[in-house]
């Protein structure tokens, strides 16, 4: 059944791909994005773009006046390092912005929130690899804390007001449209530097691992989440650890580049290992996180190359 859906951050990397899919599914899609990192050209032609801050009164009024039924919330302060440098700003955007929209939504027609959470930062240093949804949540950055707090607020709104909420805990998402400037995303950064003739830097020994999930698989998770009842939490990852050295070799191979990376100092406070299990979303929603890393990297490299040629 078609719904009125608002995608916050819908001009950004992940949000715009999700908006594309929701438009294709026949929903009326409104986008709220302040364009601080998003781009107008990412927005599907059939969607309605509103250039607003999620913390603003205008954004709240839009949800009420347009009768938004489902909020797909991707707008965020997503830079972990900035969250450490300015935790109050991080909380203002990530918690304050969400609460602004939830308060408006509960007074209007809102019945569900699909929330872009984090599997990379919410668990902290993991006891087991991959981590499932029951792993203790011990975030070690203000960004991770704000995402966990947002999940808790969504549970409160579900308990108190009957608002359905589905929290999708993403691993490290990569793919076409990722911004190599100011957004988290080592794949985009490496591709941008190689294509512009600069030598990429790997921080530390490069043996730190992450779970890299292709944006197309993240879109599939969002589509499956739309319309779910109750309060639900799902990891969205591959369950595979890839270290930065291996990742760089895959990127270099996709571009056919002979350039070696250089190693620089490690990043203070960086997690050593991160990897999450998506067995629950496969079992309960039938979503298979299926894109192999080499295939996803090739798709992303081809997009970055075309962008450079345009």
- The tens-digit pLDDT sequence of the chain (310 residues) is 899 999 999 999 999 999 999 999 999 999 999 999 999 999 999 999 999 999 999 999 999 999 999 999 999 998 888 898 999 999 999 999 999 999 999 999 999 999 999 998 999 999 999 999 999 999 999 999 999 999 999 999 999 999 999 999 999 999 999 988 755 689 999 999 999 999 999 999 999 999 999 999 999 999 999 999 999 999 999 999 999 999 999 999 999 999 999 999 988 767 899 999 999 999 999 999 999 999 999 999 999 999 875 4
143 a catalytic residue? yes
d(CA 154, CA 167): 9
The active-site residue, picked from 143, 157, 212, 231, is 143
Structural domain for 95, as ranges:
4-173+212-236
- Note whether 22 and 168 are same-domain residues: yes
Is 172:134 a contact under the CB 8 Å cutoff?
no
Is 245 contained in some domain?
yes
- Note whether 168 and 197 are same-domain residues: no
d(CA 209, CA 18): 27
Q: Integer distance in angstroms from the first to the last C-alpha of the chain? A: 38
| pLDDT tens sequence across 79-110 | 888 898 999 999 999 999 999 999 999 999 99
Phi, psi for 270 (deg, rounded to 5): -70, 135
Beta strands at 209-210 and 242-243: parallel, antiparallel or unpaired: antiparallel
d(CA 126, CA 120): 10
CA nearest to 17, candidates 50, 34, 2, 39: 39
Domain count, the chain: 2
**pTM exceeds 0.85:** yes
Is 26 contained in some domain?
yes
């Amino acid at each position: 059944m078609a719904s009125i859906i608002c995608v916050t951050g819908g001009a950004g990397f992940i949000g715009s791909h999700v908006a594309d899919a929701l438009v294709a599914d026949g929903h009326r899609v409104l986008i709220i994005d302040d364009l601080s990192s998003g781009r107008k050209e990412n927005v599907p032609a059939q969607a309605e773009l509103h250039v607003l801050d999620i913390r603003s009164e205008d954004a709240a009024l839009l949800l009420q006046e347009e009768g938004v039924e489902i909020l797909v919330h991707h707008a965020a302060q997503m830079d972990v390092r900035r969250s450490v440098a300015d935790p109050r700003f991080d909380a203002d955007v990530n918690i304050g912005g969400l609460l602004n929209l939830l308060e408006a939504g509960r007074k209007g027609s809102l019945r569900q929130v699909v929330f872009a959470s984090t599997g990379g930062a919410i668990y902290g240093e993991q006891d087991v690899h991959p981590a499932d949804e029951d792993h203790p949540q011990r975030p070690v950055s203000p960004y991770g804390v704000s995402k966990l707090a947002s999940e808790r607020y969504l549970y409160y709104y579900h308990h108190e007001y009957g608002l359905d909420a589905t929290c999708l805990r993403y691993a490290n998402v990569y793919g076409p449209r990722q911004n190599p400037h100011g957004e988290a995303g080592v794949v985009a950064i490496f591709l941008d530097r190689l294509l512009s003739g600069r030598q990429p830097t790997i921080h530390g020994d490069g043996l730190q691992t992450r779970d890299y999930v292709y944006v197309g698989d993240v879109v599939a998770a969002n589509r499956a989440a739309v319309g779910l009842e109750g309060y639900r939490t799902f990891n969205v990852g591959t369950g595979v650890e890839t270290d930065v050295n291996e990742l760089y070799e895959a990127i270099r191979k996709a571009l056919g580049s002979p350039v070696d990376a250089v190693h620089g100092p490690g990043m203070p406070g960086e997690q050593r290992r991160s990897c999450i299990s998506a067995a629950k979303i496969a079992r309960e929603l039938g979503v298979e996180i299926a894109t192999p890393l080499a295939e996803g990297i090739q798709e992303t490299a081809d997009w970055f190359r075309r962008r450079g040629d345009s």
